[in-house]
Chains A and B, each alone.
Chain A
C-alpha cells in the first residue's frame, strides 16, 4: 500500500502519438489472443483448411497424373469456397466484436480506462484482422503443402496473389461486420444483420443483378460497373485477372472490362476492395464515437 502512495501524482497527462498507437496495439493483441482461443476461430480455421485442402487435392487429382491442372471447375471451386466461407467468417467475427462487449458489459469498463473509442475500435479491428489472416495462412499453407506434394499445379505467384486477395476480402468483410456491430444494440441482432449482409452479398445481389440485366437489357459496361460494386465480385474478378491475365473467362462483360481497362483493371478491383475496407471502418469509427450507449 505504501508504495502506491509515496508519490501522490505520478500521472502525467500525455497526448503523444506513441500512446495512441500503443493503446491500439494492446487492444489488438488482446483481441487476437481472445480470437485464436475462441471456438469460432478454431472451427472456421479447421473448416476452411479442410475444404481448401480438399479442393486443392481434387483439382489436381482429376488429371494430376498428367501433371496438369488449369483454372477449371474444381479450381474455381476454391474460389467458390472462399467466397462463401471467408465473408461469413469475417462478417460474424466483426459483428460480434463491439456488440458482444456491449452485451457483456465489458465495453463500459474498457472505455472507462484512459483510452479513446477510436483506439478501442481500431485495436479490435487489427486484432481480429490478424486472427483472420492467421487463419487464412494456415488454410492456404496446408493446401500449398498438398499442391507442392502433388507438384505442378496453380502457379506459385497466382496462389500467393489468391491468398493476398482473400486477405483483402476478409479485411473488407471484417470492417463491414464491425460497422454492423457498432450500430447494433445486441449481439443477436448484430449476428443476424451480419448473416443477412452475407446472404445479400453472396447470393441476393448477384441474382438481382442477373435478373435486372435480363429485364432491363443492361449494357455490358453497366453490368460490369454494378457488379464491381459488390466486393465479392471485385474479389472474384481480381483473382481471375490475376490467374488468367484477362477476364475473358467471364464472357462478354469480362472481355469488355479487360479491353477497356487493360492494365488498370486489377488495380481498379483492388481499390474497390480497399474502399470496402476503409469506408465501413471509417463510418464505424464515426458512429462509434458518436454513440453514447455502452
Chain B
C-alpha cells in the first residue's frame, strides 16, 4: 500500500510547485476598477478580481469594494491611493500601499471626505498618512493593519486621523511606526481595542470631547494617550506600556476637564500619568480609579497648580518615584482618597493593625532625593545607585532634612486592589530563562572542575605500584 501513495505524491509534486509559483500578479491601471464602479448599481458589493491596480482611485458613488480575492491598490508612491468622496462607501479586505511621501497635500492610503464610510480589514503599507477622515461623521474604521513609511519619526504622517468627524467607531486597528492616531474636533467617538506601537503619540486628542477609549494597547510610543483641550473623555481598561520618549507619558492630560480614567494599566513608562493643569475649569474634576500604575520612573507627575483630581483604588507599584510635581510644589490640592478608600502604594511603610484593609497611618511620601530631582533634573543620572539610597537613608535619620510630603493619602490600601489587566503573554521566555540558569550553573561547575581538580600524589603512587 505504501508505494502507490508515494508514487502519487511524486506525481503531484511538480503540479504543487507550479501552483505555488503561480501568483503571476496581474498589474493593471486602477481605471479598471473605476470603470467597474461606474457601471455598478449604488450600494452594490463589488467582489474585485485579484490583481495589483496601479494609480490613484477616486470613489464618487456609494459602493462596497471587497478585495478578499487578493486585491492590491498601489499608489506608486504618488498622491492619495484611494479617495472617498461619496457617503456610505465601504472598502474591505484590500491591501493599499505606496502613497506619496511629500507632506504637501498630505497623501494618504485612504482619505474619506464623506459621511458614514466603513474602512474594514485592510492592510495598509508604506503610507505617509494611513486613514484620513475629514468631515466624515459616523464612519467605522475597523480591523485595519497600518504600517507607515519607514522614515525618521519627525517626517512621518499619522496612522489614523479624524478631522471634524463625530460619532466614529475606531476598532481593533493596528498601527505601527506612525506619528499619531489623532482626533481633531471630533466628538462621541468609540475607540476600542486598537494597538499603536513604535509611534509618537498612541492616541492623541485635540479639542475632541466626550469619547470613550477602551481596551486599547499602546506600546513603546513616545506617549501612550495624550489628551489636549479635550473634555469628558473616559479611558477604561487600556494598557500603556513602555512609552518613554524624552517627555514620554503613559497618559498625558493637558487642560482637560471631567476626565475619567478607570482600570487602565500603566506599566514601565517614563511617567505613568502626567497631569498638566487638568481640570482647568471651575467645578470640573478628574477621576483616576482602579488603575495599575507600575514600574514607571515616575508614577504620577503633575504640575504644581493641579487640583481637584480624585485618585482612589489605584495601585502604585514599584515606581521609581510614586508621585512627583513637575517643578517645585505639592500635590495636596488633589484628593488621594474617596469615601475612605485611598490607593495602594508599594513603598507604604505603615501598618494595618485593625485589618480593615486600610493602613492606619496616612501615606506621606517624603523623598529627599525626589525633592532634589525636582530642583536639579540632571541628578536623575544617579538613580538606581547606592548614593541615592544613602541620601534617602540620611534624610530618614535626620528629620530636619526631611522634605514636606508631596501628597497625603489619608487612607492607603494595605493590599493591592484586584485589577484585571488581561495582559496575556505570561509564561513566555520561561524555558529560555531555564536554559540560561542551567548555563550559568554549568559554567560554575565547569570552572570548579577545570580549576580545582588535580590528581593527588597518592593516586599516582598507587598506580605506579600496580
Contacts and interface: CB of A to CB of B under 8 A. Distances in A.
Contact of A248 (B270, B372, B424, B432): B270
Given A33-B451, A62-B318, A63-B294, 10 more contacts: A66-B421, A67-B426, A68-B295, A80-B389, A133-B443, A135-B444, A140-B440, A148-B430, A148-B436, A249-B297
Contact of A70 (B246, B294, B373, B383): B294
A278 interface: no
A32 interface: yes
B256 to A, nearest CB: 25
A171 B389 CA distance: 25
- Ordered nearest first, which 6 A-B pairs have the shortest CB separation? A251-B380, A67-B426, A141-B440, A70-B268, A72-B295, A206-B387
A250 B382 CA distance: 7
Interface string B413-448: 000000001011111111111111111110110011
B379 A207 contact: no
A51 to B, nearest CB: 14
23 contacts: A32-B452, A36-B452, A59-B318, A68-B425, A72-B296, A76-B320, A80-B384, A137-B443, A140-B440, A141-B441, A145-B437, A148-B437, A152-B430, A156-B436, A160-B436, A206-B387, A210-B379, A223-B381, A233-B385, A236-B384, A240-B384, A251-B377, A252-B377
B401 interface: no
A66 B317 CA distance: 12
Interface in B50-92: none
Given A156-B432, A206-B385, A224-B381, A62 B376 contact: no
A189 interface: no
Interface string A22-42: 000000110011001000000
A59 to B, nearest CB: 8
Contacts of B381: 223-224, 227, 233, 250-251, 253-254
A206 B99 CA distance: 52
A79 interface: yes
A71 B431 CA distance: 21
Nearest to A67: B426
Given A224-B381, A236-B384, A251-B379, A155 B429 contact: yes
A138 interface: yes
B200 interface: no
A43 interface: no
A contact face: mostly helix, strand, loop, or mixed: helix
Interface of B: 242, 244-246, 248, 265, 267-268, 270, 292, 294-297, 317-320, 346-347, 372-373, 376-387, 389-391, 421, 423-441, 443-444, 447-448, 451-452, 454
B430 A80 contact: no
B444 A206 contact: no
Of listed B297, B377, B421, B452, residue having the most chain A CB within 10 A: B452
A223 B379 CA distance: 9
A219 to B, nearest CB: 9
B177 to A, nearest CB: 16
Contacts of B347: 73
Interface in A227-286: 227, 232-233, 236, 240, 244, 246, 248-255
A214 interface: yes
A203 interface: yes
A62 B265 CA distance: 14
A220 interface: yes
Contact of B448 (A134, A203, A220): A134
B378 A253 contact: yes
A72 B268 contact: yes
Contacts of A214: 376, 379
A145 B441 CA distance: 10
Interface string A118-138: 000000000100110111011
A148 B390 contact: no
Given A29-B452, A80-B385, A227-B381, A151 B270 contact: no
A144 B295 contact: no
